[in-house]
Amino acid sequence: MPAVSFEHIVKRYGAVTVLDDLNLAIEDGDFLVLLGPSGCGKTTLLNLLAGLLEVTEGRITIGDRDVTDLDPKDRGLAMVFQSYALYPTKTVRGNLRFGLAASRLPRDEQERRIAWAARLLQIEPLLDRKPAQLSGGQRQRVAIGRALVKKVGVFLFDEPLSNLDAKLRTEMRLEIKKLHDELKSTVVYVTHDQIEAMTMATKIAVMDAGVIQQFGTPDEIYERPANLFVAGFIGAPAMNLRPATLRLAAGRVEAVFAPGAALDVTDYPFAAAPEDGMAVIAGLRPEHFDLKGAASGPLAGSFTLPVRSTERTGSDATLYLAFAPDHLALRISPDRAGGLQPGDRVEVGFQAGKANLFDARSGRRL
């Protein structure tokens, strides 16, 4: 399957620049997710790759071909849209065949491809039904099948699961990931849903304001966010981001939040030597806190704080503790949450080696 490359891409609408000097290389067989909030430019980038929008400046290559100025039909792509875009008067078979309308393939080859896609997507019993007779998940399978029958090198998905309910989204995530594992195809997938990105991608490009903020594997982006935007965007509950000051003394480095409230960050992998008195933002994941008596390893520090509220979501729970000027969110087991009331004071520890530190001025990771 071909690799895809964006080189110095610029997209403008009049005086408004949507993408500015964007560079991105997608390896052969990658499942790349373009992730970011609405308006960040991810769908614009996908439409530039598909040929649905014109590039203002820059170059797009697929494999060894420059496709920047090619028509969509000549790029060797297939796209699955947010809306199913099925023809209501055609059967499932007819919708799948429409994906081959411009291919001029012999009829028997078309039927072979339709049968292959239907078997792969488990929609063989639905081939003679029309879209109105299908559930949302079945319609989405047909839309994916219409792309699969083209047997192209690169598949594009534009928020394909946003119209499904939570249960169907989970099922379809598994189906799409399974398809990628079986076909070894190159996939470019757009979403604002971090769960989709983290569970499906081999690589993620986190975007904001037309700029790629970080590119890497899901684990890299979660464990080592490059800046405050990525740190705050990835994770649910979100990472706690709290102002602190670095204090260097007796060979130790501490992130001090207030008198008596500090974390030992001596072993933090600073990119440059830390400075005493430096203003930082400390990023603390909710799952890296331990309640007193439940520590799973060495601690960088501990706090005794009042309970603000708790949220229980069945198999999980979030504890909110008052921590000036806002609060700290902790992930805890539901059975521990049941015995805590607002105003109760609890002692919590933060696991050693788990802090993320960012420059308070630039927002970049230290």
What confidence tier does 143 reach under pLDDT thresholds 50, 70, 90? confident
Place of tokens 């081939």: 127
> Tokens standing for 116?
């292959």
What digits encode the pLDDT tens for the residues 214-265? 999 999 999 999 999 999 999 888 999 999 999 998 889 999 998 888 999 9
> In the prediction, which pLDDT does 279 show?
96
What confidence tier does 135 reach under pLDDT thresholds 50, 70, 90? confident
- Kindly report whether the peptide bond that precedes residue 237 is cis, defined as omega within 30 degrees of 0: yes
Residue 295 has pLDDT above 70, yes or no: no
- Please report, for the chain, the start and end positions of each structural domain, with discontinuous segments joined by +: 4-233, 240-359
CB atoms within 10 A of CB 267: 12
What amino acid is encoded at 281 in this protein?
Answer: I
Between β-strands 289-291 and 345-351, what pairing exists: parallel, antiparallel or unpaired?
Answer: antiparallel
Cβ–Cβ < 8 Å for 78, 150: yes
Residue 316 has pLDDT above 80, yes or no: yes
- Superfamily of domain covering 4-233: P-loop containing nucleotide triphosphate hydrolases (3.40.50.300)
CATH architecture of 240-359: Beta Barrel (2.40)
